[in-house]
Amino acid sequence: MSFLGQDEQIREYQFRFRYLYIGLFVAFFVLFARLWYLQIMNGDKYHTYSEENRIKGVKVTSPRGMIFDRNKHLLVDNRPAFDLEVTPQELYSDKEWKKTIHTIAQIIKMPEEEILDTLERSKGQPTFRPIKIKQDLEQDEVAKIEAHKLDLPGLNIQMEIRRTNLFGDLAAHLMGYIGEVNQTELPKLNRLVGATGVPYKMGDVTGKFGLESRMENVLRGIDGEEYMEVDALGHRKRTNKGITSGLKPKDPTPGKNLILTIDQDLQMAAQRSLEKLYGKKQIGAVIALNPKTGEILAALSQPSFDPTLFSRGVSPKLWGELLNNEYHPLRDKTLQDHYSPGSTFKTITAIAALEEKVIDENTTINCTGSFRLGNRVYHCWNKHGHGVVNIHKAIRESCDVFFYRMGQRLGIDTIAKYANMLGLGRKTGVNLAHEEMGLIPTEEWKKKRFGQEWIAGETLSCAIGQSYILTTPLQLANAYAAIGNGGLLWRPYIVKYIEDNDGRILKEFQPDLIGQAKISKQTIDIVRSGLTAVVNEPGGTTFSRRIPGIDVAGKTGSTQVIRLSADKIHTKCESMPFNVRDNGLFAAFAPPDDPVIAVAVIAEHSCHGGSGAAPVALEVIQTYLQKYMPEKYSDEAIKTRLKIASGKPIRVKAKPEPDEDEDAVRDTEIPDVVAKPAPPAAPGDTD
Amino acid sequence: MDEEQLKKFDWTLIVISIAIFTMGVLNLYSATFTEFVGHGLRYWQSQLIWFGLGSVVAVVIMLVHYKLLSRIAYWVYFANVFLLLLTLVAGKASLGARRWIGAGGFYIQPSEFMKLSAVLAMAKYFETERVTSGYRLRDLWLPTMLILMPVALIMLQPDLGTAMIILLTFGSMMLFIKIEKKSLLLVFTVAALTAYPVYKFGLKPYQRQRLVSFINPMSDPKGSGYNSIQSMIAIGSGQFIGKGFKKGTQSQLNFLPEHHTDFIFAVFSEEHGFMGALVLLSLYVLFFLSSLNIAYVSHDKFGTLLALGIIMIFFWHVFINTGMVCGIMPIVGVPLPFMSYGGSSLITSLIGIAILTNISNKRFMF
């Protein structure tokens, strides 16, 4: 069995085994000697270290970046939150610990049994580990506990950082919320961080929604670590001469700050006027843009939620309430929902008609209150008809019959061409999550989607912004911004610049031109004058709501939200149940000749554009003009200006006049594509 | 196995290993009784399950003649290298390293098994090689390649500790089989000359940091110096009889990093003191003495080399792990056999014991 000479070699090997025994002996001798040195010779010293001088690596939390509005008003901050903790070991070392519990229960207004329960549940855990008794203590509770600290052994107040939205639920969708990194997000986040970055750990905080999530890489603060000596009870020791002196701390890297394009005064004005309209239960969206740049000046979606309540873990109860609310507080209605634009779309039909020269500014049409196509009758919202109507009057009074005729002459594809030019039917590309595309139908689209031919009657409905047409409030505002500025389509943006903690600007975002609609100046001027008349001329659909001196060009709209049976079509909107009432819309820019602001408002179930949505938009515009162009729009300036114009003093406050407000043109059929989208993603979903 | 064989069955190693493992599980319980591995399992429970699995494998290995291992040595070796490749491509990444492969909560570390496979390949290679006056370098290029290939793959994961164990095992085996003096001198010279460039360019920053902080534990801002200090405090504070079961404050308060894997010896020494450490290390000494005896009396070259290789693996594990925890070796992630938590490591150790016992039992059969 053996190979040649193998035995001989094995014998040779056997000689070498003595080296192995020697090596083994030396190695273990060294180990024993070392243990002797550590445990016997220096045991006392190390024992002291471990009992009284523990070195602890303490997390130095690094603040997340703050969020400001365009005028550096603080919107989102990191504020301290205080928790009450009990260390059982210390608590029970006092004979009268029950008394301590009694006292503390009174201070934090919590039943004694509940505290005892919490303690009971954590039995089996090492007794030196603190147990959380109550989160988010009130200021006076903190003060009382601190004052009695010496009489309350084992109790400790732990400070933690809470992400705080200073304005509560205002623009919550924009700011978004944060939460702890979960198992599924961890690998995704760390891929984004890359090899050079500091990886995330479980329990770290990350943005989950809105800007907090979109701008995570900018806002994130990276925690540092410092070493300190603590005694056996975890309290920091005063001396710094001990064993830690050689350990260098790891500095925290604070997050960078975002300065938004938002103007907080505008946001508040929008919320204020929505509140006037609805009271507490507001449902709608307001969006304001700068037509010269695409900056988003205000973006509000109601109902909303308070992200502060999310920052340390959202309670299942609150989450359930938000999910089950039929008005979807978790959706950003400015861009995640699309709506029928209704009559606000007539402006686009008007532009198409003028540009395609199917009419000029003098062309008239007789509106008798209805229009027959084939064997179907299409109604105007004004049953009695508008009489002889030119384009100016048609826009001012929102005459449906006029625009039915335009639709008939243009065809859907031509209307779609102009809608697309103005950015409708596609995403604006704003740097926010889950933007809806909206929908501008064409003959080809219908064939693809439903396998059916386009019906001529559908063009009529589309011409007045109904049927398949869908836009987000953001798209609508952007389209009106483009109309106001002569055809330039900017990409809306929300972050103005990023700066570091010392106020150095790290990155400034620039306007981005994404399209240029070829519309002649003549067309723009005709449409502009029509839109101005909507607000400023008697007969205009929102004339009664105008704010004297505040020059606005805009268009109202109102749209049906559910399918109605034939007999209900003429029911008065206000007499229907709230959640099936028509939506009111208003889209505008101001001042008309050289706009500095464009606004779109949707006020759900407010019945009318003129009395529902327009007052909100007008108040936002007023706030903006008065703030940024006081030389022309301050109350004083307006008074002087109007006095000069009319020769006599006038009331600045408008008294409501007889309503010229349009109603929705209702229909028994509204297409499925208008149906409401699905509920939002669960928390923990990032975009 | 008939009665004859059963009488001759060598129980020594098995008894010693079970003794160490029992101390290990109790110690693991003490270190981690508040924590979970996942799937609702505690660490010590999971460790017992792995022990059961490993025992099955071990029994199978003890039943076949170890000569069979000689026949399949290269197959095992290449299969394992393939698994290493697969790990790099499709392995599970965790904490910046890609070491695990598997699915559905069942993961193994092929690098752990590679230690045994490499030793197997070496024993096989040198079984038929014969040089009287010591090997020259040119005789050794093939086995060197056989070692460097898996070592490189393991470094890529990266797993410096395991790569180092394989290299050390290979080195000590080569010294044992005798290398020509001139060649040895050359190797040491080259090693001395390349040490700095490798340190500078071949190591990842955190690995370099560990070496620096070994020489001066206080110099390290990233925390490996901190680990070393905490570990020494844990051991030292155990003093003569220790703080008692479940009473080690250093580990219970989470001052000790990785207290269930690499630093488990510190937990043990804190709670059981010098006496406990003495008993544990004596058990290891006993283990090495009896296994060296197996290598010594084995009558064939394959058996001797295989046994020696396995002993080397165990030795370097024990020495490096306890050494680093005591602060006389740099911090490298190397588990302590039968004490540290970890399925692949435990199974590898059990297979090692099985092979050694197998060699011991078969020595009378020639």
Beta-bridge partner residues of A584: A558, A603
Task: Look at residue B94 in the predicted model and tell me its pLDDT.
Answer: 67
Mean pLDDT (whole number) for A205-225: 86
Mean pLDDT (whole number) for B160-180: 87
ipTM of the complex: 0.90
Task: Look at residue A30 in the predicted model and tell me its pLDDT.
Answer: 94
**Helix, strand counts (H, E) of chain A:** 23, 22
Task: Look at residue A2 in the predicted model and tell me its pLDDT.
Answer: 42
Query: B31 at the A interface (CB within 8 A)?
Result: no
Least confident of A133-142, A313-322, A655-664, B17-26: A655-664
Grade residue B4 by pLDDT with cuts at 50, 70 and 90: low
pLDDT tens-digit readout, A225-236: 776 666 545 556
Count of alpha carbons within 13 Å of B44, Cβ hemisphere only? 15
Q: d(Cα A390, Cα A375) in Å, to the nearest integer?
A: 26
Q: d(Cα B41, Cα B44) in Å, to the nearest integer?
A: 8
Yes or no: say if B288 and B314 are a contact pair by the CB < 8 Å rule.
yes
Grade residue A678 by pLDDT with cuts at 50, 70 and 90: very low
Q: d(Cα B236, Cα A35) in Å, to the nearest integer?
A: 8
Task: Look at residue A250 in the predicted model and tell me its pLDDT.
Answer: 74
Does residue A3 register a pLDDT over 60? no
Q: Which of residues 246-265 of A touch B (CB under 8 A)?
A: 246-250
Task: Look at residue A591 in the predicted model and tell me its pLDDT.
Answer: 92
Question: Which residues on chain B are in Cβ contact (under 8 Å) with A34?
Answer: 323, 326-328
Task: Look at residue A337 in the predicted model and tell me its pLDDT.
Answer: 87
Read off the amino acid at residue B228.
Answer: S
- CB atoms B278 and A35 under 8 Å: yes
Grade residue A424 by pLDDT with cuts at 50, 70 and 90: very high
Q: d(Cα A251, Cα A61) in Å, to the nearest integer?
A: 10
Could you tell me what percent of chain B has a pLDDT over 90?
A: 37
More confident residue, B232 or A51: B232
Residues 6+ apart with CB under 8 A from A409: A353, A358, A359
pLDDT tens-digit readout, A396-418: 988 889 999 999 999 999 999 99
Query: A20 at the B interface (CB within 8 A)?
Result: yes
Task: Look at residue A293 in the predicted model and tell me its pLDDT.
Answer: 93
Q: Which of residues 51-70 of A touch B (CB under 8 A)?
A: 51, 54-57
Interface test with B, best of A22, A35, A87, A231 (most B CBs within 10 A): A35
Grade residue A318 by pLDDT with cuts at 50, 70 and 90: confident
Encoded tokens for A467 = 């049927």
Neighbours of A288 (CB within 10 A): 30
More confident residue, B259 or B12: B12
Yes or no: say if A342 and A335 are a contact pair by the CB < 8 Å rule.
no
Does residue B168 register a pLDDT over 50? yes
Task: Look at residue A642 in the predicted model and tell me its pLDDT.
Answer: 82
Does residue A7 register a pLDDT over 80? no
Query: A26 at the B interface (CB within 8 A)?
Result: no
Highest-scoring range by mean pLDDT, A235-249, B96-110, B159-173: B159-173
* Torsional class of B158: left (φ above 0), alpha (ψ -120 to 50), beta (otherwise): beta
Question: Which residues on chain A are in Cβ contact (under 8 Å) with B34?
Answer: 125-126
CATH class for the region spanning A60-260: alpha beta
Q: Of B43, B264, B258, B35, which Cα lies nearest the Cα of A125?
A: B35
Does residue A687 register a pLDDT over 50? no
Task: Look at residue B116 in the predicted model and tell me its pLDDT.
Answer: 94
Task: Look at residue B36 in the predicted model and tell me its pLDDT.
Answer: 72
Q: Which of residues 127-186 of A touch B (CB under 8 A)?
A: 128
| A34 to A49, A426, B286: CA distances (angstroms) | 18, 73, 20
Encoded tokens for B7 = 């009488």
pLDDT tens-digit readout, B83-111: 999 988 887 776 667 788 876 667 888 99
Query: A228 at the B interface (CB within 8 A)?
Result: no
Task: Look at residue A571 in the predicted model and tell me its pLDDT.
Answer: 74
User: Taking the model in full, what pTM does it have?
Assistant: 0.62
Grade residue A1 by pLDDT with cuts at 50, 70 and 90: very low
Name the architecture of domain A264-306+331-646.
Answer: 3-Layer(aba) Sandwich (3.40)
Task: Look at residue A139 in the predicted model and tell me its pLDDT.
Answer: 81
Does residue A19 register a pLDDT over 60? yes
Query: A450 at the B interface (CB within 8 A)?
Result: no
Task: Look at residue B327 in the predicted model and tell me its pLDDT.
Answer: 86
Q: d(Cα A618, Cα A600) in Å, to the nearest integer?
A: 10
Residue of B nearest to A49 (CA): B233
Grade residue A472 by pLDDT with cuts at 50, 70 and 90: very high
Could you tell me what percent of chain A has a pLDDT over 90?
A: 26
3-state secondary structure of A420: helix
The angle subtended at Cα B30 by Cα B29 and Cα B36, nearest 5°, is 50
Task: Look at residue B130 in the predicted model and tell me its pLDDT.
Answer: 66
- A with B: how many residue pairs have Cβ under 8 Å apart? 153
Q: d(Cα B37, Cα B35) in Å, to the nearest integer?
A: 7
Q: d(Cα A415, Cα A441) in Å, to the nearest integer?
A: 9
Yes or no: say if A394 and A350 are a contact pair by the CB < 8 Å rule.
yes
pLDDT tens-digit readout, A532-552: 988 888 888 888 888 888 889
Mean pLDDT value across chain A: 82
Mean pLDDT (whole number) for A366-391: 86
Question: Which residues on chain A are in Cβ contact (under 8 Å) with B178?
Answer: 16
Q: Which residue has the tokens 């830690």?
A: A244
pLDDT tens-digit readout, B5-38: 667 788 899 999 999 999 999 999 988 876 777 6
**DSSP of B17-65:** HHHHHHHHHHHHHHHHTT---BTTB-HHHHHHHHHHHHHHHHHHHHHS-
CA of B55 vs chain A CAs: smallest distance (Å): 28
Yes or no: say if A229 and A54 are a contact pair by the CB < 8 Å rule.
yes
Task: Look at residue B317 in the predicted model and tell me its pLDDT.
Answer: 95
Q: d(Cα A396, Cα A107) in Å, to the nearest integer?
A: 65
More confident residue, A227 or A442: A442
Mean pLDDT (whole number) for A495-504: 90
Domain ranges of chain A: 2-53, 60-260, 264-306+331-646
Does residue B114 register a pLDDT over 90? yes
Does residue A649 register a pLDDT over 60? no
**HEC letters along B309-334:** HHHHHHHHHHHHHHHHHHCCCCCCCC
* Torsional class of B159: left (φ above 0), alpha (ψ -120 to 50), beta (otherwise): beta
CA of B176 vs chain A CAs: smallest distance (Å): 7
Task: Look at residue A648 in the predicted model and tell me its pLDDT.
Answer: 57
Task: Look at residue A655 in the predicted model and tell me its pLDDT.
Answer: 46
Task: Look at residue A652 in the predicted model and tell me its pLDDT.
Answer: 47
Mean pLDDT (whole number) for A622-648: 84
Task: Look at residue A679 in the predicted model and tell me its pLDDT.
Answer: 39
Highest-scoring range by mean pLDDT, A49-63, A339-353, A671-685: A339-353
Q: d(Cα A398, Cα A343) in Å, to the nearest integer?
A: 7
**A398 CA to centre of own chain:** 33
Does residue A644 register a pLDDT over 50? yes
More confident residue, A399 or A55: A399
Residue A313 DSSP symbol: -
Least confident of A116-120, A311-315, B297-301: A311-315
Q: d(Cα B135, Cα B132) in Å, to the nearest integer?
A: 8
Mean pLDDT value across chain B: 84
Grade residue B310 by pLDDT with cuts at 50, 70 and 90: very high
Same CATH topology for A60-260 and A264-306+331-646: the answer is: no
Task: Look at residue A259 in the predicted model and tell me its pLDDT.
Answer: 93
Q: d(Cα A378, Cα A84) in Å, to the nearest integer?
A: 68
Q: Of A618, A601, A620, A598, which Cα lies nearest the Cα of A557?
A: A601
Highest-scoring range by mean pLDDT, A357-371, B157-171, B312-326: B312-326
Query: A22 at the B interface (CB within 8 A)?
Result: no
Task: Look at residue A184 in the predicted model and tell me its pLDDT.
Answer: 78
Q: d(Cα B44, Cα A391) in Å, to the nearest integer?
A: 84
Highest-scoring range by mean pLDDT, A48-57, A382-391, A592-601: A592-601
Grade residue A52 by pLDDT with cuts at 50, 70 and 90: low
Please tell me whether the peptide bond between A88 and the residue prior to it is cis, using omega within 30 degrees of 0: no
Least confident of A8-22, A379-393, A509-523, B159-173: A8-22
